[in-house]
Amino acid sequence: MSDRPPQRPAVAEAALELARLCPGEIPLALLLEAGASGEAVNTLLTSGDLRPGDSPGCVRLAQPDGPAGDPPWPRRRELHHALAEAATRLRLTPAIAASHYEAALDLPRARAAWSRAAQAACASGDFHAAHTAVDRALANWPWTEDPAGRVALLREKARCARQTSNTSAARTAWKELAEYAADTADTALEVEALHQMAGLANDPARVQELLVAAADLAERALPPREAFRHLLTHVDHLANRVRIQSAETSLARALRLAETLGDPALRSEALGWQALLAAMSGRHQEATRLADESLRLALSHRLPEQTALAYRRQANVEEYRGRYGDEIAAHNRALGYCKTSRTGDRNACLACLSYACFRAGRWRQALSSARAVANDAASPPMLKAMADCIRGLIAAFRGERGPALRLLEPALHTFRADDAVGMQFFAHWGLGFVHHLGDRTTALGHGDAIRSLWRETEDLHDAAPGLLFAGALYADAGLRDRLDDCLDILLVMAEKNDLDETRGALAALRAEQLRLDHRPAEAAASLDLASTRYAAAGLPVEQVWCECRRGPLGLPPPSPGVATALSLATRLGMRPLLARLRHGAQRPSATSVDELTPRQHEMVTLLASGLTSKEIADRLGLSPRTVEMHVSRLLQRLNCRTRSEAVRLASEQGWLAGHD
């Protein structure tokens, strides 16, 4: 008797050839669309050559590493092509078709499919997969075939690499673009590539070298107006990254071009940028003088577009001086001129106005302005993200967790993609607050992100509110080194940009340090100073927060500022903070877990774990009714209306130490 396995029918052998070219789980529809018959697949399943896959509608080879019986190259190419075409018709994941086109050496179709795979991965937010797909497409794309398409794909590679923090890959992509641009005398692309490489460089000397090279090339080879626009685009990019010194280097070139052209519109615009960068550096008198000069030029030459921009720059100067009421007034004046401007910058004015109104406690106007931007289909993604960030911050402080996350998380994604570091500070601030009750680990992560981002910048303003909140969370978690780091950062900021809001944050976090050092009287004085500073700055969120920190600091209520804080929190609808203020005003100081009975402490700890009454009863061997009785007494003891309030209060008091 022969030991050889029975010979398969020809149709089954052909189906097996297809399956052997497909790694892992194989969609059954793919085999059928590529030419395998249902009868052939059934034969292979019956013989055990194929077996059902783990995913519905899929099969897999029973022996993926068994003898392949490799068909000759023409046949393999034919089969790979059939599988690629079938995957395309079935609209399967583009990477499936791309890999088979690639195996068939059909390079034009392979790179097109890999490009589609990259787009699909980007759309789903999987930038690691997108980066891999882009690399596969580029590997099949010589410069001699459709160079414009390869340029676009290299830009996409750089963007995906930035999203995955792969700075090296982003630099490689822009370096290749710079070399191609130099070889083809595409000066505009070469200038852009040099600017991008400067933005990705970590060595200040290298940054300076690339910026000077870009500026030299732009001035030498581009028409003056085009060179001016290139330089301002890069100034804008660096300002968003809060790389102020590098931005001023590029701006100096733009100013010389504006002077050479003798164009008052260009000069007004350049002076406005000078004012902004001076304000970001804490040089407020210089910033005010430059902003006034920019506005004078625009008004005297009747330039509505430049006048609107000059008022926006005045607003920026007031923001970095911590004068949010004056910032609002300047933005409102800018809006009047935006109506007659041809550039449609009204939404930019509204987005900035919404931020100023949020900080100043004018939340109705903030929401109105932000919604106008978000609902306008013509708004660029960055402006929509700014508007959503403001709406998300307000939702966060009003205790609307779901809406806050739906607005803030996509906004942060956009800010990262555009490298808008200043706005990332605010998004992390809001997300840290949203998570600080239910998910302390995530909340602390947002604080860590703020500190890490700050070290990549020359920021003297935007990180302050996020550092205030992060420092308090670090103190509650006993992370003294991170709290101290927040204070060190704020000291650097205050040294160069001495504002009430920065000094307020310093005083508030100094109170947290003193609390950890068991010096309550000094902590109380420092917190009083912080509240006074924030009141002077007109910042209600921070002012209310300082009063809410009296409980965790172990300070006896009421304080002189609690009535004002209650009024502010009530007017703005800050429910989470309002609840804390009310507890502080109504309840004697509760600073020790000893004030609870052992059973009450056990109950609040189990409630913090998210257990129901029945689950607690099962764990403790009690009846659900007895558990309800203990919970009722706990709520009465803490003067809380709900279990979540009791858990929040216990967390604030430090009774849940070691419990996340």
Q: Give residue-wise pLDDT tens across range 118-139.
A: 888 877 778 888 888 888 888 8
- pLDDT for 381 equals 85
The span from the CA of 231 to the CA of 225, in Å, is 10
Tokens coding 279: 């304000």
The three-state secondary structure class of 27 is strand
Asked, as a colleague might, if the bond just before 223 is cis with ω within 30 of 0, I would say no
**Quick check: 504 pLDDT over 90?**
yes
**Inter-residue contact 50 to 36 (CB < 8 Å):** no
**Count of other CB atoms within 10 angstroms of residue 391:** 27
pLDDT band at 602 (very low <50, low <70, confident <90, very high): confident
**Quick check: 590 pLDDT over 50?**
no
The span from the CA of 91 to the CA of 378, in Å, is 31
- pLDDT for 432 equals 95
Chain segment 332-360, per-residue pLDDT in tens: 888 887 766 555 578 888 999 999 999 99
For residue 595, the 8-state DSSP code is: G
Sheet holding 50-52, edge to edge: 26-27, 58-61, 50-52
Angle at 493 between CA 489 and CA 494, to 5 degrees: 115
- pLDDT for 277 equals 96
pLDDT band at 69 (very low <50, low <70, confident <90, very high): low
Render 256-301 in DSSP notation, one character per residue: HHHHHHT-HHHHHHHHHHHHHHHHHTT-HHHHHHHHHHHHHHHHHT
Distance (Å) of CA 121 to CA 24, 51, 96, 117, 275? 20, 30, 13, 6, 41
- pLDDT for 300 equals 95
Residue keyed to tokens 């010389």:
256
The span from the CA of 354 to the CA of 371, in Å, is 9
Question: Which range has the worst mean pLDDT, 55-69, 307-321, 447-461, 618-632?
Answer: 55-69
Distance (Å) of CA 290 to CA 285, 293, 437? 9, 5, 45
The span from the CA of 118 to the CA of 121, in Å, is 5
**Quick check: 420 pLDDT over 70?**
yes
The span from the CA of 478 to the CA of 490, in Å, is 20
pLDDT band at 587 (very low <50, low <70, confident <90, very high): very low
Tokens coding 559: 């304080």
**Inter-residue contact 471 to 444 (CB < 8 Å):** no
Residue keyed to tokens 């969120």:
541
Counting DSSP H helices and E strands in the chain, the numbers are 35, 3
Distance (Å) of CA 178 to CA 60, 153, 172, 181, 187? 46, 14, 10, 5, 9
**Quick check: 530 pLDDT over 90?**
yes
- pLDDT for 585 equals 47
**Count of other CB atoms within 10 angstroms of residue 623:** 12
Distance (Å) of CA 393 to CA 148, 437, 573? 41, 16, 13
> Secondary structure of 185-216 in the HEC alphabet?
CCHHHHHHHHHHHHHHCCCHHHHHHHHHHHHH
Chain segment 452-492, per-residue pLDDT in tens: 999 989 999 999 999 999 999 999 889 999 999 999 999 99
Q: How many residues in the chain?
A: 660
Sign of CA dihedral 334, 339, 343, 348: positive
Question: Which range has the worst mean pLDDT, 138-147, 495-504, 567-576?
Answer: 138-147
Chain segment 17-37, per-residue pLDDT in tens: 899 898 889 999 999 999 999
- pLDDT for 575 equals 87
Greater model confidence, 64 or 129: 129
**Inter-residue contact 231 to 200 (CB < 8 Å):** no
Pairing between β-strand 50-52 and β-strand 58-61 as defined by DSSP bridges: antiparallel
The amino acid sitting at 395 is A
Buried b (16+ CB within 10 A) or exposed e, 277-296: bbbbbbbbebbbbbbbbbbe
- pLDDT for 355 equals 95
**Quick check: 441 pLDDT over 60?**
yes
pLDDT band at 379 (very low <50, low <70, confident <90, very high): confident
Angle between helices 244-261 and 224-240 (to 10 degrees): 160
Which residues is 26 bridged to in the sheet?
A: 59
629: nearest Cα among 613, 645, 611? 613
**Count of other CB atoms within 10 angstroms of residue 154:** 21
367: nearest Cα among 348, 346, 353? 353
- pLDDT for 660 equals 45
pLDDT band at 206 (very low <50, low <70, confident <90, very high): confident
Chain segment 239-276, per-residue pLDDT in tens: 988 989 989 988 998 998 998 899 999 999 999 999 99
**Inter-residue contact 383 to 348 (CB < 8 Å):** yes
Tokens coding 120: 């699909």
294: nearest Cα among 285, 307, 304, 283? 307
The span from the CA of 493 to the CA of 463, in Å, is 9
Chain segment 158-182, per-residue pLDDT in tens: 888 877 778 888 889 999 999 999 9
Angle at 74 between CA 69 and CA 75, to 5 degrees: 45
Average pLDDT, the chain: 86
Chain segment 207-249, per-residue pLDDT in tens: 768 877 888 888 888 888 888 888 888 888 889 889 899 899 8
**Inter-residue contact 180 to 151 (CB < 8 Å):** yes
133: nearest Cα among 101, 155, 160? 160
**Quick check: 659 pLDDT over 80?**
no
Average pLDDT over residues 488-499: 92
**Inter-residue contact 565 to 544 (CB < 8 Å):** yes
The span from the CA of 450 to the CA of 464, in Å, is 10
Chain segment 4-18, per-residue pLDDT in tens: 556 778 888 888 889
The amino acid sitting at 300 is S
